[in-house]
Amino acid sequence: MERVKLGPEGIEVSRLCLGAMALGGVQDEATSFAILDRFVELGGNFIDTANCYMFWIDGGTGDESELLLGRWMAARGNRADLVVGTKAGRRPTVPGGGLEYSEPLTEARLEAALDESLARLGTDFVDVFWSHRDDRDTPLESTVAGFDKAVVSGKARVVGASNHTAWRVERARAIAERTGAAAYTAMQNRYSYLQPRPGAALPEGGHVHAAATDLDFVANTPGMAILTYSALLSGQYTAKPLGEHYRHPGTDARLAVLDEVAAECGATRNQVVLAWLVGHDAPVVPLVGVSSVAQLDEVAAAFDLQLDAEQWQRLSDAA
């Protein structure tokens, strides 16, 4: 699987990032281990989790995904071969609470959250430490200082911003430059081939969709990359009905071209979507969660699919 470089150190990450959100929570341990083993067999090394996955399921605590990954890495002895990212900022501070009780991105909380994640993961560092949200109630100076402490201590190699707009990332980077702190070198936002209706609110709490300006920012900022989650819309290209926020004329036009290109390539809709994503000028790393090894095999095959320039542009121009 192709590798791309992330951050000032040039960390080599697989072009596909495996989302581990449901592993250990929705997927049982045997299935989760099988998916992770197959991901490594296919050449993948980049795995994404968070300190709150999956607190919202029945009986969930938010520890499930990190603990599962920790058990798997311990069983396989492969921590040194992986690039592991986790996030802080969405773990509820009140037992049983929702996103309205999300932990703050203060310097003190970031330090504690990372230590808690490291204990669950069974490691002494993560490769990428992400802010899971843009906390407007905490001064950016405190957030930047907290992420800098993670890097200076050796507990994180690089830091990134999830669910942020480009201008907020750039403002944090300016503070980091002024104070000599570690700067955000990656973004992680929702993004796929189909676009929601302009102005429509996404029903998933906390999701921030990447805008064209965010992709332009990443493309023109050396060392930056963007991870795109919900890249396959949780099965809505193939197995599930599209949400109301995707029901507009542009969706019909895009799906028609998507099916044309899929037929030309002898590929699935999902595979063409992923090939289109990695064809952007911005360094795009699709982040995909799967529920079976068979789904993972389909997804991984997309990274052998080469769209020609005309196909990519035809997909992009459909509206």
Give me the tens of pLDDT residue by residue for the chain, a chain 319 residues long. 999 999 888 999 999 999 999 999 999 999 999 999 999 999 999 999 999 999 999 999 999 999 999 999 999 999 999 999 999 999 999 988 999 999 999 999 999 999 999 999 999 999 999 999 999 999 999 999 999 999 999 999 999 999 999 999 999 999 999 999 999 999 999 999 999 998 888 888 899 999 999 999 999 999 999 999 999 999 999 989 999 999 999 999 999 999 999 999 999 999 999 999 999 999 999 999 999 999 999 999 999 999 999 999 999 999 8
Q: 32, 291 in Cβ contact below 8 A?
A: no
pLDDT at 8: 84
pLDDT at 173: 98
pLDDT at 66: 98
Q: 3, 11 in Cβ contact below 8 A?
A: no
Rounded CA separation 52/317 (Å): 38
All domains in the chain, ordered by first residue: 3-317 (3.20.20.100)
Nearest of 111, 26, 9, 112 to residue 68 by alpha carbon: 26
Long-range contacts of 239-245 (CB under 8 A, 24+ apart): 242/194, 243/203, 244/200, 245/196, 245/197, 245/200, 245/201, 245/202, 245/203
For 212, the 3-state DSSP assignment is helix
pLDDT at 200: 87
Amino acid at residue number 10: G
- Structure-block tokens of residue 220: 């023109």
pLDDT at 238: 93
pLDDT at 7: 86
First-last CA distance in the chain? 32
β-strands 3-6, 11-14: how paired? antiparallel
